[in-house]
């Protein structure tokens, strides 16, 4: 049997209580209750998981041990590296092959710039590809960017940068129309209007989607377009390992590494856009992650060495519904759309204990509390407990076949292990999903270093201390476009001076003075062999 007897007995309880729960809505928490559960159970509040940053622009601030170690690392490049013979020259260098990088490349190209997009793995190997549930945009008469704005701010604990949030929500309807004009196929009603559902923390239904592979559909669209544009060159398996400035402190390109041969080359560029995504593969606090293999916070590390401040690096997002069983898919994403369609969250006794669409931070903290404090988690063979996500409720609520139609990727993922999620609930537990903060940017993606732009998950400020579902697929396109357009304009004006890696000397001195040995960073790929 797939389940242990204990798990099976608990599963039967969920199936037995379903009819009664059909008419039950679990109440939302009050603000005080939310604050209480966050402080007691959210991983961001485990003080021992954090430490002080000892060097750089955020010196004295706090972040997770794993990120602090990477930020305080030493370069794999020596300051004497020969910059006199660039292997490539371009107007704009985009680092990262996800949705933010692709959007940036397209908009820079539209400004007439030549573009190189260098990516660590393949073009499209990115968190964008793995995002499932949808993308938010207030584009219906009964909704407005102002409502969207308030939801984003509320979800982020009102800590968000208001100018960035304004940019996000104002551009959103245009971004959906732009993606559609490039061929992106969102799900629609028979009359042609885009379908929409709720996500956690949304006051209106404004989540548009392509079944449960929204990110893959958006990535397909952007990648096809970038591949077909003139003057956009894609270099794969070429992680960037260091940034280069000119003698006047303006960005002047970067050094990339051939992942196979480890050979490093200088790519000369008048502008660089960091779109390297998040850092889930640093496995903060030992959490499994939904992130793709190359997500190791490289952009943060390189920008930090140049003296660019980071924002909100003391908060990460733990998605409430990571798969908790079977072991082969531990920590993988179970899209929030499952709850958006009506699945309830139940404990070992088949009882609800939390409103299913609280914001992600609160929902995760409540699940952790149910398992740790109340002892109502379901024991699994992986030692990590889980709670049930009652997916069969969706078909009862919305008609037979809804799970298979609306969640085909998720359905297949479980079917491979003999679990029919339209008939039986699935086990979930919070998983490391998103880097809420990152490199501080302005609304056009610019930073304090002339010519250096950032877009997508590598940036920080727009989501404050917690991002809402569907605002990441939005953020990557909004700020990818903005950064690409701004960089495309910037390169028309700039004439570069002599390139230099002088900042590495200064960085080494700072590390020495602080007594930091510093391992080599960026990390590039997780070292699972070391931990085996
Ligand atoms: O925005 C996200 O993180 C997202 C769409 C995830 C999901 O649950 O599907």
Out of 319, 369, 442, 463, the active site residue is 319
Per cent of the chain over pLDDT 70 is 99
**d(Cα 119, Cα 139) in Å, to the nearest integer?**
33
DSSP 172-231: HHHHHHHHHHTT----B-TTSPBP-B--TT-SS--EE-STT-HHHHHHHHHHHHHHHSTT
484 lines ligand 1 (CB under 6 A): no
Distance of CA 334 from the midpoint of ligand 1 (Å): 9
Q: 10 Å Cβ neighbour count for 195?
A: 16
Active-site residue flag, 319: yes
Query: Phi/psi class of residue 426: alpha, beta or left (left: φ > 0; alpha: ψ in -120 to 50)?
Result: beta
The DSSP output letter for 515 is T
From ligand 1's centre to the CA of 198, what distance in Å?
12
Model confidence at 391: pLDDT above 90: yes
Provide the whole-model pTM. Answer: 0.97
For residue 392, CA distances in Å to 25, 73, 403, 414 come to: 16, 48, 8, 13
The confidence score (pLDDT) of residue 176 equals: 98
Predicted confidence at residue 305, as pLDDT, reads 97
Which two three-digit tokens encode residue 455? Answer: 């877009």
Angle at Cα 75 formed by Cα 446 and Cα 275, nearest 5°?
30
Q: Is the CB of 469 under 6 A from ligand 1?
A: yes
- Three-state DSSP at 440 gives strand
pLDDT digits (tens, 9 = 90+) for 356-371: 999 999 999 999 999 9
Residue 415 main-chain phi, psi, to 5 deg:
-60, -35
pLDDT digits 0-9 by tens, 143-164 = 999 999 999 999 999 999 999 9
pLDDT in tens, 47-69: 999 999 999 999 999 999 999 99
Q: 316: Cβ–Cβ under 8 A, 6 or more apart, which residues?
A: 43, 44, 64, 284, 432, 434, 435, 436
Average pLDDT, the chain: 97
Q: Which atom of ligand 1 is nearest to the CA of 470?
A: 1
Q: Which atom of ligand 1 is nearest to the CA of 133?
A: 9
Is 237 a residue whose pLDDT tops 70? yes
CA 433 to ligand 1 centroid distance, Å: 9
Task: Say how many Å lie between the CA of residue 170 and the centre of ligand 1.
Answer: 21
User: Phi first, then psi: what are they for 440, rounded to 5°?
Assistant: -65, 130
Whole-angstrom Cα distance, residue 397 to residue 392?
Answer: 9
Cα gap 176→171, rounded to integer Å: 9
The token duo for 320 is 């409430």
Q: Which secondary-structure segment (H or E) carries 406?
A: helix 402-406
| 382 has a pLDDT exceeding 90 | no
pLDDT at 301: 98
Return the pLDDT at 530.
Answer: 57
Question: Which secondary structure element, helix H or strand E, spans residue 487, and what is its range?
Answer: helix 471-490
pLDDT at 1 exceeding the cut of 90: no
Provide the token pair at 8. Answer: 């099976």
Whether 131 is in the pocket of ligand 1, judged by its Cβ within 6 Å, is yes
Helix count and strand count (H, E) for the chain: 17, 19
Report whether residue 136 contacts ligand 1, using a CB cutoff of 6 Å. no
66 lines ligand 1 (CB under 6 A): no
Does residue 531 register a pLDDT over 60? no
- Ligand 1 centroid, distance to 182 Cα (angstroms): 22
Q: Which residue has the tokens 């971004």?
A: 175
Per-residue pLDDT tens over the stretch 445-501: 999 999 999 999 999 999 999 999 999 999 999 999 999 999 999 999 999 999 999
Contact between 79 and 501 (Cβ < 8 Å): yes
Q: Is 369 assigned a catalytic role? A: no
CB 68 within 8 Å of CB 514: no
What is the number of the ligand 1 atom nearest to the C-alpha of 321?
A: 8
pLDDT, mean of residues 109-129: 98
Atom in ligand 1 nearest the alpha carbon of residue 212: 9
- Is residue 128 within 6 Å of ligand 1 at its C-beta? no
CB-based contact 310:438 (threshold 8 Å): yes
- Give the model's pLDDT for residue 204: 97
With a 6 Å cutoff on the Cβ, whether 472 touches ligand 1 is yes
- Mean pLDDT, rounded, for 325-348: 97
What is the average pLDDT across 408-428?
Answer: 97
**Which atom in ligand 1 lies closest to the alpha carbon of residue 132?**
9
Residue 335 beta carbon below 6 angstroms from any ligand 1 atom: yes
- Contact 154 CB / ligand 1 (< 6 Å): no
Both tokens assigned to 23:
């008419």
201 lines ligand 1 (CB under 6 A): no
What's the pLDDT at 88?
A: 98
Q: What is the pLDDT of residues 247-305, one digit of tens each?
A: 999 999 999 999 999 999 999 999 999 999 999 999 999 999 999 999 999 999 999 99
Which of 335, 341, 343, 430 has the most ligand 1 atoms within 8 A of CB, as the residue to mutate? Answer: 335
- The single residue of 339, 360, 442, 463 carrying the catalytic annotation is 339
Give the residue-averaged pLDDT of 503-526: 96
pLDDT in tens, 157-193: 999 999 999 999 999 999 999 999 999 999 999 999 9
């Amino acid at each position: 049997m797939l389940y242990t007897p204990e798990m099976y007995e608990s599963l039967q309880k969920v199936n037995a209580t379903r009819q009664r729960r059909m008419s039950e809505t679990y109440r939302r928490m009050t603000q005080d209750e939310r604050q209480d559960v966050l402080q007691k159970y959210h991983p961001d509040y485990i003080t021992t998981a954090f430490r002080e940053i000892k060097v750089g622009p955020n010196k004295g601030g706090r972040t997770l041990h794993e990120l602090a170690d990477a930020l305080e690392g030493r370069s794999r490049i020596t300051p004497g590296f020969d910059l006199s013979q660039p292997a490539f020259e371009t107007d704009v260098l985009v680092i990262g092959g996800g949705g933010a990088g692709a959007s940036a490349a397209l908009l820079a190209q539209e400004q007439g710039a030549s573009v190189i997009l260098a990516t660590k793995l393949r073009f499209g190997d990115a968190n964008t590809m793995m995002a499932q549930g949808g993308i938010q945009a207030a584009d219906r008469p009964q909704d407005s960017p102002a409502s969207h704005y308030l939801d984003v701010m509320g979800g982020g604990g009102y800590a968000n940068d208001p100018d960035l949030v304004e940019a996000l929500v104002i551009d959103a309807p245009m971004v959906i129309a732009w993606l559609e004009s490039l061929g992106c196929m969102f799900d629609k009603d028979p009359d042609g209007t885009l379908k929409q559902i709720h996500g956690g923390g949304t006051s209106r239904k404004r989540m548009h989607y392509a079944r449960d592979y929204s990110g893959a559909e958006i990535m397909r669209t952007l990648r096809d377009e970038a591949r077909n544009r003139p003057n956009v060159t894609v270099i794969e398996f070429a992680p960037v390992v260091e940034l280069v400035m000119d003698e006047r402190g303006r960005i002047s390109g970067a050094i990339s590494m051939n992942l196979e041969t480890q050979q490093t080359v200088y790519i000369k560029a008048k502008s660089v856009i960091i779109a390297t995504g998040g850092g889930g593969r640093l496995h903060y606090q030992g959490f499994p992650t939904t992130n793709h293999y190359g997500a190791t916070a490289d952009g943060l590390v390189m920008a930090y060495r140049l003296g660019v401040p980071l924002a909100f690096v003391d908060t990460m997002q733990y998605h409430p519904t990571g798969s908790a069983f079977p072991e082969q898919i531990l920590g993988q994403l179970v899209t929030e759309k499952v709850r958006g369609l009506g699945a309830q969250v139940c404990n070992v006794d088949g009882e609800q204990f939390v409103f299913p669409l609280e914001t992600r931070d609160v929902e995760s903290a409540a699940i952790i509390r149910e398992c740790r404090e109340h002892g109502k988690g379901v024991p699994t063979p992986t030692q990590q407990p889980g709670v049930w996500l009652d997916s069969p409720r969706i078909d009862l609520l919305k008609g037979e076949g809804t799970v298979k139609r609306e969640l085909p990727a998720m359905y297949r993922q479980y079917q491979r292990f003999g679990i029919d999620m339209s008939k039986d609930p699935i086990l979930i537990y919070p998983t490391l999903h998103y880097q809420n903060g990152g490199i501080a940017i302005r609304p056009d993606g610019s930073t304090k270093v002339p010519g250096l732009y950032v877009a997508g998950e590598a940036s920080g400020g727009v989501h404050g201390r917690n991002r809402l579902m569907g605002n990441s697929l939005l953020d990557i396109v909004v700020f990818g476009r903005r950064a690409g357009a701004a960089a495309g304009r910037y390169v028309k004006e700039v004439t570069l001076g002599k390139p230099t890696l002088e900042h590495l000397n200064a960085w080494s001195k700072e590390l020495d003075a602080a007594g930091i040995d510093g391992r080599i960073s960026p990390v590039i790929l997780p070292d699972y062999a070391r931990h085996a």
